[in-house]
Amino acid sequence: MLTALARALRLGDHERDHLFWLAGRPPPRRGGHTTHVRPAVLRLLDDLRDSAAFVVSDLGQFLAMNDLAKALLGDQTVYTGRDASVVWRWFTHPDARDRYPAEDRDKHSRFRVANLRATAARRAGDPDVEDLVGALLSHSKEFARLWAEHEVEAPRERHKRLVHPTVGLIEVDCETLLTPEQDQEVVLLTARPDSEAAEQLRLLQVIGLEGLAARH
């Protein structure tokens, strides 16, 4: 709750720590894994109005999304516990795959497993990583099979195909920027000018704005 409040208020690291101390709780540690998104990164998401942009942790937790990303992917920041990890949902919740064409899903499974293995190597002994991997091994035969293959590197997606319930199949370009600590990624989904995907994103912008207006 405090982390979400600090993110909503766009607090810097020191301001966030002060908020935790005021609440009588120790602040999250710095320098290692953190779910705190820097205010400058949040401002970047706000400024990218023509691109779907979001921040995801190395455990697959969506930490922040701009409005277009929410319109395109649905609000992925509402989940808690293990469900906060898209990797967990991908292998345990069948509906987590609904926005991806069936023929692309095996590729996404392999990519998610390889990413998690790289995280496990970088954060060896981290209880959060061990809990997620152990739970996935117990709950998903597909994950266990892919994990046993020991694939540690999967090619990053430069293009992504998504299935939206309103605009249908949409093909976007995908760029990923790593934070210096390599524990968060800023993902940008863009469309080439004058393409069908650009028109679909513009439509989603309108749909997203209408949805925001309806909630106020």
On whether the CB atoms of residues 207 and 166 are closer than 8 A, the answer is: yes
Q: Which two tokens stand for residue 205?
A: 């912008």
CB-based contacts of 177: which residues, under 8 Å, 6+ apart? Answer: 185, 186, 187, 188
Q: Can you point out the beta strands (E) in the chain? A: 52-57, 62-65, 159-164, 168-178, 184-190
Please tell me the pTM assigned to this model.
Answer: 0.81
Domain boundaries, the chain: 31-214
Q: Residues 159-215: pLDDT tens digits? A: 999 999 999 999 999 999 988 777 899 999 999 999 999 999 999 998 875 554 444
* pLDDT tens, residue by residue, 103-162: 999 999 999 999 999 999 989 999 999 999 999 999 999 999 999 998 876 667 789 999
**C-alpha distance from residue 126 to each of 24, 119, 133, 166, 194 (Å):** 25, 10, 11, 41, 46
Domain 31-214 has CATH 3.30.160.20: no
